[in-house]
Chain A
Amino acid sequence: MPEEPLLNAEAWVDEYGDMLFRFASYLLKDQDLAEEIVQETFLAALKSKDAFKGQSSEKTWLFSILKHKVIDHIRRKKFKEINMEAEDLGKTIDAFFNDKERWQVFPAPWNPNPKEAQEFKELLDIFYKCLSELPERLGNAFGYREMDGLATDEICNIMGVTTTNLSVMLYRARMLLRRCIDLNWI
C-alpha cells in the first residue's frame, strides 16, 4: 500500500481554507481579494512544499505564507514605495535619542487589555498596516523572525546577510514599527 503523502494539496483546501480565508478577509476587508490571496497562498505552498520539513505544523506554515502574501499585497497598493536608504534609516532611529543618548521621542505606554477582543483586533490592524510600511527588507527580516519564528542563522541564509547586519535590521524594524504603532494607536 503506498504511503500517504506528507502534503496533500487538495485536502489543505478543505482543512485550512476557511481559516485562512477568515484571517485574510479580516485583514484585507475584501472577501474577493481574500479568496485570491488564499489561492496564491496554496499555490505558493505547493511550489515550496519540498522545503517544508515538518518543523512547524502545516497550519503554522500556511499561515506564515498567507501573512507574507497579505503584507506584499498591502505594500504593492501603496502609491509611494518606501525605500529609505540605510543612512536615512540610521538618522531616523538616531533622532529618537538626544545627544546624550537619552530618549527624546518617548515610547508610549501600551496597556492593551487582552480581554478586549475588539481592541486587540484594532491593534492587529494597525500592526499589519505599519508592517507593510516598513522598507521591504526590514519588513521581511521582521516577518521571518517575529511572525514565522525563524532562528537568526536561518534568516541570515535566506537574506544573505551577516548576523550583525541582521541584528541592525531587526533593531531598526522594531524601532520603526513600534513608533508607527505609537502614532496610530490611540
Chain B
Amino acid sequence: MRHWMFSCKEVSQRISESMDSGLPLHQRMIIRIHIMMCKYCYRFRKQLLFLRQLGRYSLSLGEAAGSALILSDEARERIKNSLKAAH
C-alpha cells in the first residue's frame, strides 16, 4: 500500500532503522500513519519487535529449563581443569 510518502518497502527499511537509532519526528509520524492503514507493515513491525524479544529471551529460558538438568561432577571438574590449564 502506498500511504503518504513512503512505500511499504521504504517503511520496512525505516522500521528496521528505528530499531537501531532514532528517526526524525516527521518520519516517525509518516510510519505511524502508514502502519495504522497497512496490516502487512503493522505485522512486519510486530515481527521485528518479537525477533528482539526472542534474541534476548534466552537468559530466563536458561534459568527455567528444568532444574534437574545439571553438569555432571566429571564435566564440572574437566571444565575447571581446562580453565586452570589455559590460565
Contacts and interface: CB of A to CB of B under 8 A. Distances in A.
Partners in one complex: yes
Interface of A: 9-10, 13-14, 17-23, 25-26, 31, 35, 38-39, 42-43, 46-47, 59-60, 63, 67, 96-97, 100-103, 106-110, 112, 120-121, 123-124, 127, 142-143, 145-147, 149, 152, 166-167, 170-171, 174-175, 177-178, 181
Contacts of B75: 21, 35, 38-39
Contact of A109 (B13, B43, B52, B69): B43
16 contacts: A10-B84, A17-B76, A23-B58, A35-B71, A67-B58, A110-B47, A124-B54, A127-B51, A143-B55, A145-B19, A146-B52, A146-B55, A149-B56, A170-B20, A178-B47, A181-B51
A133 to B, nearest CB: 14
A97 B9 contact: yes
Chain B interface bracket (under 10, 10 to 19, 20 to 34, 35 or more)? 35 or more
Contacts, number: 148
A38 B71 contact: yes
A63 B79 contact: no
A29 to B, nearest CB: 12
Contacts of B13: 171
A154 B63 CA distance: 28
B5 to A, nearest CB: 12
B25 interface: no
A124 B58 contact: yes
B17 to A, nearest CB: 6
A43 B65 contact: no
B7 A25 contact: no
B79 A39 contact: yes
A102 B9 CA distance: 6
Contacts of B51: 127, 146, 174, 177-178, 181
Q: Which 7 A-B pairs have the closest CB atoms?
A: A23-B62, A101-B7, A146-B55, A101-B9, A171-B16, A147-B55, A107-B43
Nearest to B14: A171
B57 to A, nearest CB: 7
Given A17-B79, A102-B7, A112 B50 contact: yes
A97 B84 CA distance: 55
Contacts of A9: 83, 87
Given A112-B50, A124-B54, A103 B20 contact: no
A147 B51 CA distance: 9
